[in-house]
A and B are shown apart, each in its own frame.
Chain A
Amino acid sequence: MSSADRALALLAAAALAAAPAARAAQEVVKIGACLSLTGPAAVYGAQQKAGVQAAVDELNRIGALPGVKLELVIEDDASTKEQGIAVYQRLIGREKVAAILGPTLSNTATAADPLAQAARVPVVAVSNTAPRGITDIGDHVWRVSLTEAQVIPGALQRAQGSLGFKTAGVLYGNDDAFTQAGYEVMKGALSALGVHTLGTQTFAKPDRDYNAQLTALIGQKPDILVVSALAENAAGIVAQARQLGWQGPILGGNGFNSAALIKNAGPAAEGVLVGTSWNRSSSEPANQAFLRLMASRGFEPDQFCAQAYAGVQVIAEAVRLAGLKGGRDDVEAGLQKVKDLATPLGRFSFLPSRDGSHEPALQVVKGGRFEIAQ
């Protein structure tokens, strides 16, 4: 078969395959996903890609939006601001998408979201967790992911419910905006719970030896160690605390929410507590359906996958609430009405600040993996 013949055959096949879909769907709603498929954040981007693809396929398959076909355009922002901006320009100007989902990193969002705001294209963030500077960009930026400020207090409260600690030792990185912000949230949450903080210690990002800080904290005999650190520091802190003989609980911020913690701390990571926005073992029908769907696609989902899936659900719900219309203004109007939507994350609503709101959960490391603490 010559290449021209092959092209013809392919065209014919494509026409056949497209024909029934074209008849069924009068309106096509394009969703642009700006994800980090390469670069340092690629590990999150891969999960998100699987999540959005599964959601779009599933919603189209069950005909969740009668007369509307969802179409997905996935672009790679390479974990950088610069490429993120280029992707946004393409999605807004060339692809003419109805809404943008992403980008993976808060850092990229601060650079790229203003473009969408200026073009009045709704953005649904599914993994940005910086408490400030995301939905503050403007009234077209919405967020499904919970911020640190939402996850940590919930996690601490649940942990206290089961462990009943009354005193805490706190360790945090004081040269990083993210860990510093996490610490502020922890401090507020601890005092709100009536937990007495016996000591507070700090470290810097390049540090690898935390023995001095940990010895000082452990010497004050707190009931729990609370740590705000990035993933690369977190494993060292946990391992050295155990080496110094600390047997009590350790609770970490979102930086701990990483497979690298378990890989690098090994057995020392057992029992470490981390807040999360997705309760994997929730028996809610929406979560069970999500787990079954991902299992049938042979994919092991994590929090990022579940959040991305929920992000597509939220956009689809907005289209439905806007009377099955998929213009940018329609989606925007629909987003304002989304309330109590059943997602894998739980019942989802938006706060007046356009940030997401649902129940956070608490994970514990058990047998070398994260499990939901009941």
Chain B
Amino acid sequence: MQQVINGLFLGSIYALFALGYTLVFGVLDILNLAHAAVFMLASFAALVLVTRLHLPILLALPLAMLFAGLLGMVLERVAFRPLRARGDSNVAGLISSLAVATVFEAVALEVWGPNVERFPFGTLPAEDPAHQLHLLGAVISRLQLTIMGVAVVLVLLLTYLVRRTRLGREVRAVAESPRAARVLGVDVDRVIAASFFISSALGGAAGVLYGLAFNSISPDMGRSVELKGLAVIIVGGMGSMPGAVIAGFALGLTEVLVVAHLGGSYRDAVSFAGLFLILVLRPRGLLGAASLREA
């Protein structure tokens, strides 16, 4: 039971990270490889807000998300928009996002150094063993509960935004066909910028939560989720948001259960073998087939 909790906990962070990843892919058909770098910088931003300005983490989290979102818009303006007019902008965008990721990581390395930083003690109220939640023999800390809660709320918020608001409709319209959307009077550039903002804010939230969960913030922290996030959005069906959430939780659970029953050395081997299997059996991913975007 404890392992299931561990898996859901890890899965909620994967899901949040992958959600932003897949949103940009759905809209632009471009993989934004700088997503992991935004994840890392948002975590550092929250750290600075908490340590230098002594803000409570509940205030620092939305501010770091805002910062990440703005970073995403800059990223879009610098790395993607200039290339969009060209013929083969997908590969070029992939490479330029990789370049931006490298720059971001180098900046972080220069500013904060290679050491692992952590949020100061007392950022979250101290855990009291007497008040820990026990569920069917498993221990759930308040931290884990908070992080899973924040992740679920953000997922629901995004679903609402995409399904029920005007911006959401425009995002979906651009995803179907940028040209048709433009004909219908949608400001495509604005919608793309907005998608980048939302995507990066979600990635940033994942970064802050990751830093809180494992108390480890370092310039290379994005590496540990970069490939996992990619696997999650492929399994979930490229561009499918519910797919990313389901696949995120599935990956978290798979990893934890493999470690528990086969040992840590097999974790990535089994996870990625599963990814391969799903690609062979369902080339569009779990929920990708439902999408009309390929039409």
Contacts and interface: CB of A to CB of B under 8 A. Distances in A.
Contacts of B214: 208-209, 236, 240
B116 interface: yes
Contacts of A204: 264
Nearest to B116: A232
A104 to B, nearest CB: 17
> Which range contains the number of B residues in contact with the other chain?
35 or more
A202 B260 CA distance: 11
Contacts of A207: 224
B229 to A, nearest CB: 14
A320 B221 CA distance: 53
Interface string B55-73: 0000000000000000000
B215 A236 contact: yes
Given A202-B264, A206-B224, A264-B118, A212 B6 contact: yes
A235 interface: yes
A239 interface: yes
Nearest to A244: B139
B265 A174 contact: yes
Contact of A209 (B118, B141, B143, B213): B213
A213 B220 contact: no
Contacts of A267: 121
Contact of A216 (B9, B129, B223, B260): B260
Specify which of B9, B114, B115, B214 lies most central, judged by the most chain A CB atoms within 10 Å of its CB.
B214
A215 B3 contact: yes
A20 to B, nearest CB: 47
Chain B contact residues: over half helix, strand or loop, or mixed?
helix
Given A212-B256, A215-B2, A267-B121, A239 B215 contact: yes
A213 to B, nearest CB: 5
A83 interface: no
Interface in B74-122: 114-116, 118, 121
B127 interface: yes
A201 B10 CA distance: 18
B146 interface: no
Contacts of A236: 214-216
Most A Cβ at <10 Å: residue of B115, B116, B218: B116
Interface string B119-144: 00100000101001000000101010
Contacts, number: 78
A353 interface: no
B121 A213 contact: no
Interface in A299-335: none
Contact of B256 (A201, A208, A211, A240): A211
Contacts of B210: 208
Nearest to B264: A202
A285 interface: no
Interface in B166-187: none
A206 B223 contact: yes
A266 B119 CA distance: 11
A202 B255 contact: no
Interface in B258-291: 259-260, 263-265
Contact of B141 (A212, A213, A232, A243): A243
Given A40-B114, A236-B216, A245-B129, A211 B121 contact: no
Interface string A103-125: 00000000000000000000000
B255 A212 contact: yes
A215 B9 CA distance: 14
Given A236-B216, A239-B215, A245-B139, A208 B221 contact: yes
A232 B214 CA distance: 11
B2 A266 contact: no
Contacts of B216: 208, 232, 235-236, 264
A219 interface: yes
Contacts of B114: 40
A212 B118 contact: no
17 contacts: A40-B114, A201-B263, A201-B264, A203-B264, A208-B210, A208-B224, A211-B6, A212-B255, A215-B6, A232-B216, A235-B215, A239-B215, A243-B127, A244-B2, A245-B132, A264-B118, A267-B121
Given A203-B264, A260-B115, 17 more contacts: A40-B114, A174-B265, A201-B259, A201-B264, A204-B264, A208-B214, A213-B264, A215-B2, A215-B3, A235-B216, A239-B215, A240-B214, A243-B141, A243-B143, A245-B129, A245-B139, A264-B215
Closest 5 CB pairs of A and B: A208-B214, A212-B259, A202-B264, A212-B256, A211-B6
